[in-house]
């Protein structure tokens, strides 16, 4: 009986220990990261820093094991949307005024990479969108074209919760929330070709 209890305890400890690696979700740390996000949704033409006074500008951190598929402006990829250690924080808004372009992560900036252990390597990426959606995938599924994605990063996570070395988004590059370049499907090109041919025939007959 004691052996069974010990094995059960070891199993539960291993489950809680695995997949708890964390990364800090910030796009600006003085002297470390400066990747302020711009937008062309409310200001067509010249990109301006995202002002969080509009709560429909949202961003999230995606992550997973190295080898996953990064998100693009037309695909959500295979990385999961990461949440805070207590599971309450997922997507965030932006700051306002002089801090426009910065993610409004508040006091809880840690995000858990659920399938990568402490000390392991994770693939992460920042995504952003405009609209009343709780995830980047939802925004794409709804056909919202005002989206943006950062460059994907490969980070080594700290060895444990007491490790003084944190995993910041070092190497993160600035990006823009703007209209995506959706490529028409082949059927769309075919229909366009038929329409053009019909127009030429009609003109010749006239």
Residue 204 has a pLDDT of 52
Residue ranges of domains in the chain: 20-205
Q: How far is CA 141 from CA 54, 92, 128, 137, 147, in A?
A: 22, 19, 14, 6, 12
Q: Which two tokens stand for residue 185?
A: 């499907």
Strand pairing of 110-113 and 21-24?
antiparallel
On whether the CB atoms of residues 146 and 131 are closer than 8 A, the answer is yes
Strand pairing of 176-179 and 38-39?
parallel
Residue 154 has a pLDDT of 97
Residue 90 has a pLDDT of 94
Residue 8 has a pLDDT of 39
Determine the Cα angle at 105 with ends 165 and 177, to 5°.
110
Residue-level pLDDT, tens digit, the chain, 206 residues:
444 334 333 343 333 344 579 999 999 999 999 999 999 998 888 999 999 999 999 999 999 999 999 999 999 999 999 999 999 999 999 999 999 999 999 989 999 998 899 999 999 999 999 999 999 999 999 998 899 999 999 999 999 988 988 999 999 999 999 997 443 434 333 444 444 444 444 455 55
Please say whether the dihedral angle defined by the alpha carbons of residues 144, 150, 154 and 155, taken in this order, is positive or negative. negative
Residue 77 has a pLDDT of 97
Q: H/E element holding 30?
A: none
Residue 120 has a pLDDT of 96
Residue 201 has a pLDDT of 47
CA 18/CA 15 separation, integer angstroms? 5
**b/e 105-117 (16+ beta carbons within 10 angstroms → b):** beeebbbbbeebb
């Amino acid at each position: 009986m004691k052996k069974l209890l010990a094995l059960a305890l070891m199993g539960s400890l291993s489950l809680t220990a695995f997949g708890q690696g964390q990364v800090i979700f910030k796009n600006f740390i003085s002297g470390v990261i400066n990747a302020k996000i711009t937008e062309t949704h409310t200001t067509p033409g010249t990109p301006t820093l995202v002002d969080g006074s509009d709560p429909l500008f949202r961003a999230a951190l995606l992550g997973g094991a190295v080898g996953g598929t990064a998100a693009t402006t037309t695909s959500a990829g295979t990385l999961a949307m990461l949440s805070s250690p207590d599971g309450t924080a997922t997507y965030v808004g932006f700051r306002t005024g002089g801090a426009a372009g910065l993610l409004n992560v508040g006091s809880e900036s840690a995000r858990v990479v659920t399938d990568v252990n402490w000390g392991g390597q994770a693939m992460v990426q920042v995504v952003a969108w405009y609209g009343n959606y709780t995830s980047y995938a939802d925004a794409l599924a709804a056909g919202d074209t005002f989206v943006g994605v950062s460059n994907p990063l490969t980070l080594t996570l700290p060895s444990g919760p007491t490790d003084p070395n944190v995993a910041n988004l070092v190497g993160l590059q600035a990006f823009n929330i703007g209209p995506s370049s959706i490529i028409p499907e082949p059927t769309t090109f075919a229909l366009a070709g038929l329409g053009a041919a019909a127009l030429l025939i009609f003109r010749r007959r006239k």
